[in-house]
Amino acid sequence: MTKRGYHHGNLRQALVDAALHLINEMGPTGFTLSEAAKTAGVTPAAVYRHFEGRDELIAECALQGHEIFADLMEHAYADGQPSALAAFAATGRAYLAFARKYPGHYMAMFESGTSVNATPELAAAAAKSRGVLERAAQALSQHIPADKRPPPAMFSAHIWAMSHGVVELFARSRPGAAAPFSPEDLLEAGIGIYLRGLGLIAPDI
C-alpha cells in the first residue's frame, strides 16, 4: 500500500484520514495503530503524541463523522422548507447519502462499538444530528391531533431506525443483500407507510 503521507503540522488529521481508509478497507476493528501509522507514513511512536490508543483514534473518526452528518442533516432539513413533510423526508434521504459518501465515518460512528458518550465532544456532535431529525419530526407532528401525537423523540427514533435498517441491509453492497428496489425507494415507501399510519398522508384509494 502506498503511504498517504501528511502535511507538516497536521499529523493528527493524517492519522484520522489513515484510520478512515483502513476502516473502509478492513472494518473498524480490522487494523492496528501500527498499520494506521504506516498508512499515514509515520512511525508508530508518532501516533501516541495524539492518541492514547486505537479506540481514541476511532472515537475521533466518529466525532468528525457526526459533525459532517449533522451538517448534512441541517442542510437537508433547510432544503426541504417550507414544507414540514418535504423537510422531514429530506432528512431521511440524507442518512442514505451520508452512509454512501462517508463509509469510514459511518462505520466508526455506528459499527465500531464506540459509545457516543466516549467524550463530551462526541456526545454533543451526536446529539446535534439527532436534534435535526427530532426538530423535523416535531414540526411535522403539529399536523396530528394532540391526543394522537407521538413524542417527537419517538417519532424521529422510528424514522432513524428505518433509515439505519435500509442502510445496513441494502445500501452498502453487502453480499446477498440485493433487493428488487433501490434503497431510496425502500426508505421512501417505508416512511410513507409510517406517515399514513399517523394520518399525515392521505391513504391511497
Three-state SS sequence of 8-52: CCCHHHHHHHHHHHHHHHHCCCCCCHHHHHHHHCCCHHHHCCCCC
Q: How confident is the model at residue 153 (pLDDT cuts 50, 70, 90)?
A: confident
Name the residue with higher pLDDT: 203 or 27: 27
Residue 123 lies in a domain: yes
Residues 73 and 172 grouped into a single domain: yes
Calculate ∠ Cα 84-160-166, nearest 5°.
Answer: 110
Residues 188 and 88 grouped into a single domain: yes
Q: Are 28 and 112 in contact (CB under 8 A)?
A: yes
Q: Which residues span the domain enclosing 24?
A: 1-51
Residue 13 lies in a domain: yes
**For residues 129 and 14, what is the distance between their CA atoms, to the nearest angstrom?**
25
Q: What's this model's pTM, rounded to 2 decimal places?
A: 0.83
**Among residues 10, 33, 51, which one ends one of the domains?**
51
Mean pLDDT of 6-26: 84
**For residues 40 and 56, what is the distance between their CA atoms, to the nearest angstrom?**
16
Percent of the chain past pLDDT 90, that is, above it, reads: 26
Query: Element (H or E) spanning 172, and its range?
Result: none
Is residue 48 pLDDT above 80, yes or no?
yes
Q: How confident is the model at residue 2 (pLDDT cuts 50, 70, 90)?
A: very low
Residue 125 lies in a domain: yes
The enclosing domain of 14 has a CATH number of 1.10.10.60
Residues 68 and 127 grouped into a single domain: yes
Residue 82 lies in a domain: yes
Place of cell 475521533: 60
Backbone phi, then psi, for 112, in 5-degree steps? -95, -10
Residues 109 and 11 grouped into a single domain: no
Tell me, what's the pLDDT at 137?
Answer: 83
| Number of separate domains in the chain | 2
Mean pLDDT of 119-128: 92
Residues 8 and 76 grouped into a single domain: no
- Of 39, 94, 89, nearest in space to 69 by CA: 94
What residues contact 185, with CB distance under 8 A and at least 6 apart? none
DSSP secondary structure letter of residue 89: H
The enclosing domain of 92 has a CATH number of 1.10.357.10
Residues 110 and 142 grouped into a single domain: yes
Residues 92 and 189 grouped into a single domain: yes
Residues 18 and 88 grouped into a single domain: no
Residues 42 and 95 grouped into a single domain: no
Residue 203 lies in a domain: no
Give the best-scoring range by mean pLDDT among 26-30, 76-80, 139-143, 200-204.
Answer: 26-30
> What is the rounded average pLDDT for all residues in the chain?
84
Q: How confident is the model at residue 108 (pLDDT cuts 50, 70, 90)?
A: very high
**Among residues 51, 66, 89, which one ends one of the domains?**
51
Percent of the chain past pLDDT 70, that is, above it, reads: 88
Is residue 154 pLDDT above 80, yes or no?
yes
Residues 68 and 43 grouped into a single domain: no
What residues contact 84, with CB distance under 8 A and at least 6 apart? 136, 139, 140, 142, 143
Is residue 54 pLDDT above 80, yes or no?
yes
Mean pLDDT of 151-175: 82
Residue 10 lies in a domain: yes
Residue 189 lies in a domain: yes
Tell me, what's the pLDDT at 8?
Answer: 45
Is residue 61 pLDDT above 90, yes or no?
yes
Residue 93 lies in a domain: yes
Going 99 to 104 to 110 to 115, the CA torsion angle's sign is negative
Tell me, what's the pLDDT at 175?
Answer: 52
Is residue 7 pLDDT above 80, yes or no?
no
Tell me, what's the pLDDT at 205?
Answer: 40
Q: How confident is the model at residue 133 (pLDDT cuts 50, 70, 90)?
A: confident
What residues contact 168, with CB distance under 8 A and at least 6 apart? none
**For residues 33 and 49, what is the distance between their CA atoms, to the nearest angstrom?**
12
Place of cell 392521505: 202
